[in-house]
Amino acid sequence: MAVTETTSIVLLPIDLIERDGETQPRVKIHPATVVEYAQDMQAGAAFPPITVFNDGGIYWLADGYHRIESALSIGATQILSNVKLGSKRDAILYAVRANGTHGLRRSNEDKRRSVAILLQDPQWSRWSDRQIARCCGVHHDLVGKLRSSLAVTASEKIYKTKHGTTSVMDTTNIGGRASKSATIGNRVTVTQNHPLLAGMSGTICQVPNPGAAIVELDSGERELIDIQYLKPAIAHHLKLNPGGLVEVRNPANPSLDSRQGRIAAIRNETVEVWLRDIERMTMHRHRLPIEQVEPLPIESEPRLAEISDRLQRLMAIGLDPFELEIVSMLERAVVLTPTEMDYLNLIEKRYTAQIEGDSLQ
């Protein structure tokens, strides 16, 4: 249906307006903007009317999500509205080009979402890159890159994000076998050859099919990314080192997830981590994929940092083989038991003079 110019400005009850997010071109609502608008409204500021499309039964919100949220936050039940005759699809076409020249400035993620809305549609996806770019108020190069990234075909379907918006999910490989695998909770980085998200890091939050993962990026947005573009991520300011403190990220295994341990060894794609069996108070060595292990600064555990310093001082002096074995075992724990503390104190007592002499040098 073509957008008609028939419009009217009315005070419309907010509960009549459909605002489920399907016509929302932004990735998310910005709370700070909602608060700012609400304060201005209470101060008597005049806002332009929101834009809705009426198909004879439903008022589809096309522009004004932040204004509606602000009005609701101060108890308003009606809002000034520019009502146009048209369908939901008319509202979507209007929405993807809204805010290009007014309102809260669009983020790059907002622009990509506007383009993706058209590219995932069977009819609009047949438009040229330049036609979609003009409609969304972006450069045609962005459309071309996103078209290649999404590869929108009949094998793709829509999924709903945590923000209530929609995006595209590739279902081509459902039931197939992927060359890589993805696990919920893994920290990943997008490889440099991705056309839009190169270098960004985040956490896998959904695995809709074997060939793709929905990643919650550190910026807060969620993106569907082909597994071929994902690699294990390690904190930029920390490295995995033997003896280092780490936290396990493995939601699929509650007995390991969120536990802290010490690194025993580092392999090409795995890390061996010492974790204590709480019931038996014994140490066990677990081999985990490198992406399930997140390095932590040892300073986050002050008591552990102190004990590590004490152990390092002992390792630097001439211990006998039995004492050396005990100290090596103590280095595996995040928290020492009373018995282990007794061992540490006894060994230190035996070498007090030597330790104090070294500390004076």
Task: Note down the domain range covering 172.
Answer: 168-232
- For residues 113 and 42, the model is more confident at 42
Rounded distance between C-alpha atoms, residue 182 and residue 353, angstroms: 54
Examine the domain organization and report whether 71 and 27 are in the same domain.
yes
Give the pLDDT score at 163. Answer: 45
Q: What is the largest CA-CA distance in the chain?
A: 93
Q: How many domains does the chain have?
A: 4
Give per-residue pLDDT as tens, 85-123: 999 999 999 988 876 556 677 878 788 888 888 888 888
* 23 and 91 co-located in one domain: yes
287-302 residue pLDDT tens: 988 878 888 777 666 6
Domain-embedded: residue 121: no
Residue ending a domain, among 84, 104, 124, is 104
User: Has residue 159 got a pLDDT over 60?
Assistant: no
The model carries a pTM of 0.45
Give the model confidence (pLDDT) of 252-310 as tens digits: 777 888 788 888 888 777 888 888 776 666 778 889 888 788 887 776 666 777 888 88
Q: Does some domain include residue 12?
A: yes
Are 279 and 187 in the same domain?
no
Residue at 72 is within a domain: yes
Domain assignment present for residue 263? The answer is: yes
113 within 8 A of 27, measured Cβ to Cβ: yes
Domain boundary among 296, 312, 328: 296
Distance CA 17, CA 6 (A): 18
pLDDT at 254: 79
User: C-alpha dihedral over 279, 282, 283, 287, to 10 degrees?
Assistant: -60
Any domain includes 70 = yes
Q: How far is CA 30 from the centre of its chain?
A: 16
Instruction: Answer yes or no: is pLDDT of 241 > 80.
Output: no
Instruction: Quote the pLDDT of residue 101.
Output: 58
> Is 66 inside any structural domain?
yes
Q: Does 161 score more than 50 pLDDT?
A: no
**Mean pLDDT over the full length of the chain:** 78
pLDDT above 70 as % of the chain: 80
Q: Does residue 246 have a pLDDT over 60?
A: yes
Tens of pLDDT, residue by residue over 45-90, are: 999 999 999 988 899 999 999 999 999 999 999 999 999 999 999 9
* CATH code where residue 18 lies: 3.90.1530.10
Rounded Cα–Cα distance for residues 32 and 37 (Å): 9
Looking at the structure, tell me whether residues 176 and 273 fall in a common domain. no
Q: Please give the Cα distance from 224 to 227 (Å, whole number).
A: 9
pLDDT digits (tens, 9 = 90+) for 324-340: 888 888 877 777 777 77
Could you give the CA distance from residue 259 to residue 271 in angstroms, rounded to a whole number? 15
